[in-house]
Chain A
Amino acid sequence: MLKISNLEKRYGKNEPVLKGLDLTVDGSSVVSIVGASGAGKSTLLRCINRLVEPTSGRIQLNGLDLVDLRGAELRRARRKIGMVFQGFNLIDRLTVMENVLSGRLGYVSLYRAITRKYPQSDIDRAFHLMERVGIDHYANKRADQLSGGERQRVAVVRALMQEPEILLADEPTASLDPKTSQQIMSLLQALASEMDLPVLINIHNVTQARMYTDRIVGMRHGQMIFDGGPKDFNQDALDAIYGGIESPDEQGQTIETAPAAEGASV
């Protein structure tokens, strides 16, 4: 269970990006976080695995306080938090297998990491997961030779190699074409239920959020302004989240009204 309470993040002396945010995620639910660019979605996810340092507040993962961890403790906690990125963030010049095995870096010794002598159980797990997402035949290919969808699958497998207790996905489909991005979303949905894994997905595509996730959290200006099931996510919620800002989903309709609304909202 992930429990975030009163989370605040401010960069320097600017207006805070997150303003006292509370969020609880239990079980294996797939939660999507929607909101305009700059609403604080990415900062929220990065605070959880401490790629970004929260200014104040508490984040607990299965009872463990994440905010005050340092050094080795922090690294041990990060092992349990898988993350998938918009730009995949694979090690381009290494093979797919090395990328997948790098998900075990938090568990193996430096010597094993350098010599690539990973334990047999890790290699078995790697092949098993690669077969599950259909990339096992690429094991010895260089990661930068794969297509976008395939690379994101490698990234997902890398995260799953960590034996995570939660999976964070920061706009995992934003660099993919519509069809591939649907495949990745449905893969994440399926893996969540197969592995009994809670998944938090930042997403711009509201239609996909409705289709593939159990719960939608809407953010605006660093605050949570919607929390409910896909069925409750109606036009009013959409307007509240994107009001005055064009929604990437409906650019065609909102682009003309945007200048008028801009004056009103400031």
Chain B
Amino acid sequence: MTEKPSHTVGGQSNRTWKKPPFISNPVVRYSLMAGIAVYLYWAFSSLPFDWARIAEGLPRAGRIFGGAIPPNFERSDLLMKGFKESFQIAFLATLLGVSLSVPIAVMAAKNVAPKPIYLLGRSLIIVSRSFHPVIVAILFVAAVGFGPFAGILTLTLYSIGFVAKLLAEEIEEIDWGQVEAMKSVGAGYFKTLIYGVFPQVLPRQIGLSMYQLDSNLRASAVVGIVGAGGIGGTLMNAFGRYDYDFAFAILLLIIGIILVSEGISGWVRKKIW
């Protein structure tokens, strides 16, 4: 208490202040900047940009796009059949994936699962997240054959990876007081889950499910390309037969459906909170 307070109002007035830099050590800061600059230069100078080939390809691209206009909706029965299958894949996979993700999320939440179960739950999530759906689809097509069943399995796994991970994180952040209250009335593990945990994560789970349905609709078109059923297969065939106008029609419809589903899922997520 011997030194004077240094914040005397109206005292020295030409003190300045600057926001402290993100990385406080100047050596680290500047060498990091230099490193990034060197890397970018190296990356761009060593990339095999073949300008001649790009110039050659441009007219071909023009031809493809030219052939795609106007889009051809004549084979609408084929179009509808493909989309119907894609919808079925997406809905079933979402339903299955979301239902399975609930127990897996509980297993993978540190605050409600014992250590060995937690590790098992986490590994399940890591496994289902480690490959892109297209790779998973290739595996499942090889395992169960061409068609929508492979697509359903693929997207179910994809849904588990995403929904269970985010739901587990949500469970880890719940208000623990509600859980304590349920413990204090003498509720067992499952009753505590149902009363103390699930109501807290329910809106999030509904939001995630809507988002996942949206995402599965999109992905169902992609996995179809490798033979897992749905509109993706139709699209692939159209490309293969140079039916660019039909392919363009499919793409337009995909865009339209994604827009609509995104709108609906956004609206539902807003309502549910």
Which A residues lie at the B interface, using CB under 8 A? 49, 51, 72, 75-79, 81-83, 85, 87, 89-94, 98, 102-107, 110, 113-114, 155, 158-159, 161-162
Check if B180 is an interface residue, CB within 8 A of chain A. yes
Nearest 6 CB-CB pairings of A with B? A106-B186, A79-B186, A105-B187, A89-B181, A78-B186, A89-B177
Q: Mark B170-202, 1 if CB is under 8 A from A, else 0.
A: 000001011011111111101100111001101
Some 26 contacts from A to B, beta carbons below 8 A apart, are A49-B184, A75-B188, A78-B184, A78-B185, A79-B185, A82-B184, A85-B177, A85-B181, A90-B181, A91-B178, A91-B196, A92-B178, A93-B202, A94-B199, A102-B187, A102-B195, A105-B182, A105-B187, A106-B185, A110-B188, A110-B190, A110-B191, A114-B194, A158-B181, A161-B185, A162-B185
Contacts of A85 in B (CB 8 A): 177, 180-181
Q: Of B180, B190, B191, which contacts A89 at CB under 8 A? A: B180
Contact status A91-B199, CB under 8 Å:
yes
Contacts of B185 in A (CB 8 A): 78-79, 82, 102-106, 158-159, 161-162
Output the nearest chain A residue to B201 by Cβ-Cβ distance.
A93
Q: Mark B108-149, 1 if CB is under 8 A from A, else 0.
A: 000000000000000000000000000000000000000000
A82 to B191, CA, bound (A): 17
Contact status B186-A89, CB under 8 Å:
no
Contact status A105-B199, CB under 8 Å:
no
A113 to B187, CA, bound (A): 10
Output the nearest chain A residue to B184 by Cβ-Cβ distance.
A83
Contact status B178-A90, CB under 8 Å:
yes
Contacts of A106 in B (CB 8 A): 185-187
Contact status A105-B200, CB under 8 Å:
no
Contact status A87-B199, CB under 8 Å:
no
Contacts of B181 in A (CB 8 A): 83, 85, 89-91, 102, 155, 158
A72 to B187, CA, bound (A): 10
Output the nearest chain A residue to B200 by Cβ-Cβ distance.
A93
Contacts of A76 in B (CB 8 A): 186
Do A113 and B194 contact each other (CB < 8 Å), given the known contacts A90-B178, A94-B199?
A: yes
Contact status A51-B202, CB under 8 Å:
no
Do A75 and B184 contact each other (CB < 8 Å), given the known contacts A85-B177, A90-B178?
A: no
In the complex, what's the smallest C-beta–C-beta distance from A89 to chain B, in angstroms? 4
Contact status A102-B177, CB under 8 Å:
no
Of listed A49, A91, A93, A162, residue having the most chain B CB within 10 A: A91
Of listed B175, B178, B181, B185, residue having the most chain A CB within 10 A: B185
A91 to B195, CA, bound (A): 7
In the complex, what's the smallest C-beta–C-beta distance from B122 to chain A, in angstroms? 26
Contacts of B195 in A (CB 8 A): 91, 94, 98, 102, 105, 113
In the complex, what's the smallest C-beta–C-beta distance from A264 to chain B, in angstroms? 15
